[in-house]
């Protein structure tokens, strides 16, 4: 009955469009009236009223803003895998529902006293936005319900509708994917705009369901008039065939997708599993493998860094990868560039590794006609090829190169270094172009150029005062931040802290390579970089110039030997006692321990408040026998 109802609505709406907009009626009045009467009868029998039905006159609403909605039951995201073997392991001996993972906007719709009461976006998972005025004009949402129910699903725009709507925009205003279009559409303040975007709601669940099985839940939603996500009832024996079938169904329907979702059918069992801080344990998403796309190579972009290394960036015709328009990718070094044998116009394949980092995978043409430019595109100096870590890199030897200067100043001002608020890369570039900055130390003399700076477009007196005060505030800092800001090659925050614990501003430049090598956590290569920097006359001059500007350093107090000194930690998950993971990591390092980004056999502890999380770090820790501790247990370790 539901499909017949939707078919009648489609026929009548098409007839209305032809009659009122094109003045070309496709139905006689008698034929139209017959179909309309049939529609009214079906609506009465099914008690389903769709917002796009000719029998309904849903008025448009214009909101001044979208109000926030708190989700009493959080709308969590899903844990992910790309492995069919891992999916089989998840299924185990259970029956599951395998469904299409729609690539739209997660949406919740609530019904109360027979009427649609509220529609809201997922938002952060705990706080969303009220989009009730727009949900009422979705293409397929029932305006009524026999029961009080909260339905969760995805707001989407089909591929066909997306292409038609996108053609209406100017080239520069076109949307790169339907996810972006639907997100913008359902958050419109004027519901008439949303209606014209043909948004559909595809249901995939009921919050606080009274059903015993997921399959029964989905069947109930279908009876209530909802379009339900396509799904298959599977076990470990037949899920692989279902994967192929569902991928084919998604293409036929023109639904935007980014994988599949597997959920245990037994709802009581699912509820018993609970959830992590991020994911429910009853479901897992099977993501697509990284999609590989063909495109055309168009050239190289050379970017000079603060250390003089010239990074190679390959340019190509834009391709839509996982909803993002991509037109460039790093080629990292000379060896990778040469291995691809590139030439202008060559057909190349690109992907976004793990859906994030663009990569040029292969060159199908291999004309090998493109030659790397021999000069720095910023200063014009002849570039050199230098070997570093067994790979060849381009290098600009001109230490006065403006590109290098700009990146050195930006690094010095960065949050982890001197934290000069308001000094963006664009601002630094303008100051260099105007001749206000010729060295990092010139930051402390910008008051000489106050008149010129306040005349720059978008840079009034207030902006200048804020920047000046921010620079002045850096004249009394932690010595470790200062060392990091100097930009010594390969010397990160941790190494800077190690140096600051042993040296002060007066003794640092006198360190010998042997002294530096004795420090825990600093190896031979890093010691060489540090020693070479502190013995270079230009660097010595810069160091002394900065100190001459009145920079002083916070005193470090000698503390008792920490109980965790020398241990290695990995931090993951949400934190409660610290502001964020970065603050927790800083506390660990302050106690003379080391923080790493991944689990290894040398890891002493993994800090995670959710010890049962299925995250990759938890799994690796359990495999290697690394203890998983909470923040509280960490604080107990250091006797706080």
31 annotated to a ligand binding site:
yes
Kindly state which CATH superfamily the domain 479-553 is placed in: 5' to 3' exonuclease, C-terminal subdomain (1.10.150.20)
78 annotated to a ligand binding site:
yes
Q: Using one digit for the tens of pLDDT, what is the confidence trace for 58-93?
A: 555 666 788 999 999 988 888 888 888 899 999 999
CATH architecture assigned to 293-395? Beta Barrel (2.40)
Q: What is the mean pLDDT of residues 487-493?
A: 87
Q: What is the mean pLDDT of residues 489-494?
A: 84
Structure tokens at 372: 């790397």
For residue 282, the model assigns a pLDDT of: 96
- pLDDT at residue 109 tops 70: yes
271 HSE (CA, 13 A, CB side): 11
Distance CA 15, CA 26 (A): 6
Q: Order the strands of the 628-629 sheet from edge to edge.
A: 594-596, 568-571, 605-607, 628-629
287 annotated to a ligand binding site:
yes
User: Residue 198 in 3-state DSSP?
Assistant: coil
Do 393 and 386 form a contact (C-beta atoms < 8 A)?
A: yes
436 HSE (CA, 13 A, CB side): 20
Q: Using one digit for the tens of pLDDT, what is the confidence trace for 196-213?
A: 899 999 999 999 888 999
Q: What is the mean pLDDT of residues 573-588?
A: 83
Calculate the dihedral angle through the C-alpha atoms of 511, 515, 516, 517, rounding to the nearest 10 degrees.
Answer: 160
pLDDT band for position 44 (cuts 50, 70, 90): confident
379 annotated to a ligand binding site:
yes
- pLDDT at residue 22 tops 50: yes
Q: Indicate if 479-553 has the same CATH topology as 402-477.
A: yes
Q: What is the mean pLDDT of residues 38-60?
A: 73
30 annotated to a ligand binding site:
yes
For residue 595, the model assigns a pLDDT of: 85
Distance CA 628, CA 617 (A): 10
pLDDT band for position 2 (cuts 50, 70, 90): low
401 annotated to a ligand binding site:
yes
Query: What does CATH list as the number for 402-477?
Result: 1.10.150.20
Q: What is the largest CA-CA distance in the chain?
A: 99
Q: DSSP string of 443-509?
A: GGGGGGGHHHHHHSTT--HHHHHHHHHHHHGGGEE-HHHHHHHTT-TT--HHHHHHHHHH--TTTGG
Q: What is the mean pLDDT of residues 313-318?
A: 95
Rounded to the nearest 10 degrees, the angle between the axes of helix 425-433 and helix 402-413 is: 140
122 annotated to a ligand binding site:
yes
- pLDDT at residue 347 tops 80: yes
Instruction: Return the percentage of the chain with pLDDT > 90, whole number.
Output: 49
For residue 575, the model assigns a pLDDT of: 86
Q: Distance from CA of residue 94 to its chain's centroid?
A: 33
Structure tokens at 85: 């073997």
- pLDDT at residue 293 tops 70: yes
Better-scored residue on pLDDT, 200 or 460: 200
User: How many angstroms separate the Cα of 377 from the Cα of each of 16, 202, 311, 403, 428?
Assistant: 61, 51, 11, 9, 18
Q: Which residues pair with 128 in a beta bridge?
A: 69
77 annotated to a ligand binding site:
yes
- pLDDT at residue 418 tops 80: yes
- Catalytic residue check, 136: no
Q: What is the mean pLDDT of residues 392-416?
A: 92
For residue 410, the model assigns a pLDDT of: 94
For residue 62, the model assigns a pLDDT of: 65
Do 609 and 277 form a contact (C-beta atoms < 8 A)?
A: yes
291 annotated to a ligand binding site:
no
pLDDT band for position 516 (cuts 50, 70, 90): very high
User: Residue 61 in 3-state DSSP?
Assistant: coil
- Active-site residue (options: 70, 80, 94, 101): 101
How does DSSP classify residue 442?
G
Q: What is the mean pLDDT of residues 438-450?
A: 95
Q: What is the mean pLDDT of residues 245-257?
A: 89
Better-scored residue on pLDDT, 330 or 270: 270
- Listed by start position, the domains of the chain span 2-46, 68-286, 293-395, 402-477, 479-553, 568-637
- pLDDT at residue 558 tops 50: no
116 HSE (CA, 13 A, CB side): 27
Mean pLDDT of the chain: 87
Query: What does CATH list as the number for 568-637?
Result: 3.40.50.10190
Is the domain covering 2-46 a CATH 1.10.287.610 domain? yes
- pLDDT at residue 140 tops 50: yes
Q: What is the mean pLDDT of residues 382-397?
A: 85
The CATH number of 68-286 is which of 3.40.309.10, 3.40.50.970, 3.30.1360.170, 3.30.470.30? Answer: 3.30.470.30
- pLDDT at residue 442 tops 60: yes
Selection from 131, 423, 101 nearest residue 259 by Cα: 101
Structure tokens at 537: 């006359």
pTM for the predicted model, two decimal places: 0.51
């Amino acid at each position: 009955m539901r499909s017949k109802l939707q078919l009648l609505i489609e026929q009548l709406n098409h007839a209305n469009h032809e009659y009122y907009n094109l003045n070309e009626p496709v139905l006689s009045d008698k034929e139209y009236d017959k179909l309309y009467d049939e529609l009214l009868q079906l609506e009465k029998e099914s008690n389903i009223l769709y917002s796009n039905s000719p029998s309904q006159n849903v008025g448009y609403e214009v909101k001044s803003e979208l109000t926030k909605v708190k989700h009493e039951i959080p709308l969590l995201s899903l844990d992910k895998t790309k492995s069919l073997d891992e999916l089989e392991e998840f299924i185990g001996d259970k029956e599951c529902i395998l469904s299409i993972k729609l690539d739209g906007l997660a949406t919740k719709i609530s019904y109360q006293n027979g009427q649609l009461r509220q529609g809201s976006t997922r938002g952060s998972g705990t706080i969303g936005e009220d989009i009730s005025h727009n949900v009422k004009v979705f293409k397929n949402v029932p305006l009524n319900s026999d029961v009080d129910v909260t339905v969760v699903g995805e707001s989407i725009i089909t591929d066909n509708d997306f292409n038609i709507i996108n053609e209406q925009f100017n080239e520069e205003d076109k949307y790169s994917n339907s996810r972006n279009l639907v997100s913008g559409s359902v958050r419109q303040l004027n519901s008439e705009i949303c209606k014209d975007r043909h948004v559909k709601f595809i249901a995939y669940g009921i919050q606080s369901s009274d059903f015993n099985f997921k399959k029964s839940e989905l069947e109930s939603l279908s009876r209530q008039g909802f379009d339900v996500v396509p799904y298959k009832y599977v076990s470990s024996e037949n899920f692989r065939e279902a994967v192929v079938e569902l991928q084919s169904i998604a293409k036929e329907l023109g639904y935007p997708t980014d994988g599949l979702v597997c959920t245990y059918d037994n709802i009581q069992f699912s509820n018993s599993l609970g959830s992590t801080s991020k994911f429910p344990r009853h479901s897992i998403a099977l993501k697509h493998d990284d999609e590989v796309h063909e495109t055309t190579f168009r050239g190289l972009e050379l970017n000079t860094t603060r250390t003089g290394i010239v990074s190679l960036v390959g340019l190509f015709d834009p391709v839509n990868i996982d909803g993002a328009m991509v037109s460039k990718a790093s080629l990292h070094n000379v060896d990778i560039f040469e291995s691809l044998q590139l030439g202008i116009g060559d057909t190349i394949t690109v992907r976004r590794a793990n859906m994030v980092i663009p990569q040029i995978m292969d060159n199908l043409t291999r004309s090998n006609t493109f030659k790397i430019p021999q000069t720095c595109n910023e200063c014009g100096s002849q570039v050199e090829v230098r070997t570093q870590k067994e790979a060849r890199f381009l290098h600009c030897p001109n230490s006065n190169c403006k590109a290098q200067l700009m990146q050195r100043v930006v690094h010095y001002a960065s949050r982890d270094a001197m934290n000069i608020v308001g000094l963006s890369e664009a601002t630094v570039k303008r100051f260099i172009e105007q001749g206000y900055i010729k060295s990092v130390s010139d930051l402390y003399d910008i008051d000489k150029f106050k008149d010129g700076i306040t005349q720059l477009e978008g840079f009034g007196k207030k902006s200048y005062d804020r920047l000046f005060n921010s620079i002045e505030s850096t004249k009394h800092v932690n010595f470790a931040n200062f060392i990091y800001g100097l930009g010594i090659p390969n010397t990160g925050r941790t190494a800077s802290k190690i140096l600051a614990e042993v040296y002060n501003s007066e003794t640092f430049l006198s360190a010998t390579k042997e002294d530096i090598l004795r420090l825990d956590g600093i190896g031979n290569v890093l010691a060489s970089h540090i020693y070479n920097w502190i013995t270079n006359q230009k660097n010595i001059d810069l160091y002394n110039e900065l100190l001459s500007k009145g920079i002083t350093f916070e005193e470090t107090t000698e503390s008792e030997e920490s109980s965790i000194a020398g241990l290695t930690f990995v931090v993951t998950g949400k934190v409660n006692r610290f502001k964020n993971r970065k603050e927790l990591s800083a506390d660990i390092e302050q106690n003379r321990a080391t923080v790493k980004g991944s689990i290894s056999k040398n890891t002493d502890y993994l800090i995670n408040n959710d010890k049962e999380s299925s995250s990759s770090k938890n799994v690796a820790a359990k495999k290697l026998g690394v203890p998983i501790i909470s923040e509280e247990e960490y604080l107990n370790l250091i006797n706080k």
